Homo-oligomer: A and B are copies of this chain.
């Protein structure tokens, strides 16, 4: 039995415990299939339990509490399980994104496709290790997505709550896949507009990380439309601000703190709002600079070049513009929250989570 968290700081541990119980519950199914399938499922479990701040379940849980959910009440364990299911959607998103981005590591460990490629190499098996690794990772990402639905369905929340959360769950999954698709599409087509970058930001991050988790929590609690609208406004604004802050860190972050090479987003060619703001300004003021930015993004820049790009982006006013946007969004998001009927305790938590976004350096 999973003990529900008694404060927001204990959400990650409670979520992990719920996930552990769920993975145990899948074991008879994977054992029945046999062969090495349970071993593969265990690799997925290790990936899911390895880390992360359980941000999405924390927002969902807090959304539920803020809409009147009783953390010590009889519904709490079932609600916790439904919130924990967000981590399985996230596992699918990360595992498949790591294939798409050809990422070798995540949180200091090999990504899942690399782990299985290594297994292939170590075993001296036939065929291409990279191809094997990607094939297994595609299937294990699918498994995580299927299991996310299983966990919601088997969470124990009652039929009325299931009916309420259905459309939210549905929208959340379609939106994050849409955001990922647009990200992949924009990268190859080279859409440089601020609008395109903001759209990806909104659906790949804001809706998926904050807005819909809060909405899910509210729907679990049977919140009224006004509170749901306030949560969604808060979630969208703070979620976009969160990603904008991430974009700043991707270019200006301290490698010691972020754990990523300095200027990583520039080398990777990430089409961020920050970069779009720089380009639109350069186009208007200095075509040579715009050309330098366009030719440099997504290439194997030297530290010297990264340094120069950073100065240009700053001098163009793009950093100030993004910071102003973060401030505005944080203000409007907090205003929506303050004016809402969420409980005071939940408001305090959400305010703290929102302010942490603006302050974070990694």
Contact = CB atoms under 8 A, between A and B. Distances in A.
Interface residues of A, number: 60
Interface in A149-202: 149-150, 153-154, 159, 162, 166, 170-171, 173-175, 177-182, 184-190, 196, 199
A40 B185 CA distance: 10
A132 interface: yes
A61 interface: no
A92 interface: yes
Nearest to A99: B138
Interface in A1-47: 26, 29-30, 32-37, 40
B180 A34 contact: no
Chain B CB within 10 Å — which of A99, A141, A181, A203 has the most? A181
Contact of A179 (B33, B185, B199): B33
Number of copies of this protein chain within its complex:
2
A177 B143 contact: yes
Nearest to A186: B35
A127 interface: yes
B141 A196 contact: no
A135 B182 contact: no
Contacts of A135: 99-100, 184
B120 A188 contact: yes
A139 B175 CA distance: 12
A187 to B, nearest CB: 7
A173 B146 contact: yes
A307 to B, nearest CB: 25
A183 to B, nearest CB: 9
Is chain A's interface secondary structure helix, strand, loop, or mixed overall? helix
A166 B143 CA distance: 16
A4 to B, nearest CB: 23
Contacts of A185: 35-36, 40, 136
Given A171-B29, A174-B26, A36 B146 contact: no
A63 to B, nearest CB: 21
Contact of A37 (B96, B162, B181): B181
Given A100-B135, A175-B33, A125 B182 contact: no
Interface in A210-249: none
Contact of A188 (B26, B37, B126, B166): B126
Interface string A252-280: 00000000000000000000000000000
Contacts of A145: 142, 145-146
Which of A99, A135, A170, A199 neighbours the largest number of chain B CB atoms within 10 Å of its CB? A135
B35 A132 contact: no
Nearest to A151: B170
Given A34-B199, A36-B185, A150-B170, A180 B96 contact: no
Nearest to A120: B188
B154 A35 contact: no
Contact of A149 (B100, B149, B184): B149
Interface of A: 26, 29-30, 32-37, 40, 92, 96, 99-100, 120, 123, 125-127, 132, 135-136, 138-143, 145-147, 149-150, 153-154, 159, 162, 166, 170-171, 173-175, 177-182, 184-190, 196, 199, 203, 298
Closest 9 CB pairs between A and B?
A33-B178, A125-B188, A159-B159, A146-B173, A100-B135, A37-B178, A149-B149, A35-B182, A150-B170
Given A35-B196, A96-B142, A145-B146, 9 more contacts: A29-B178, A33-B182, A100-B139, A123-B188, A135-B184, A138-B138, A141-B142, A153-B166, A159-B162
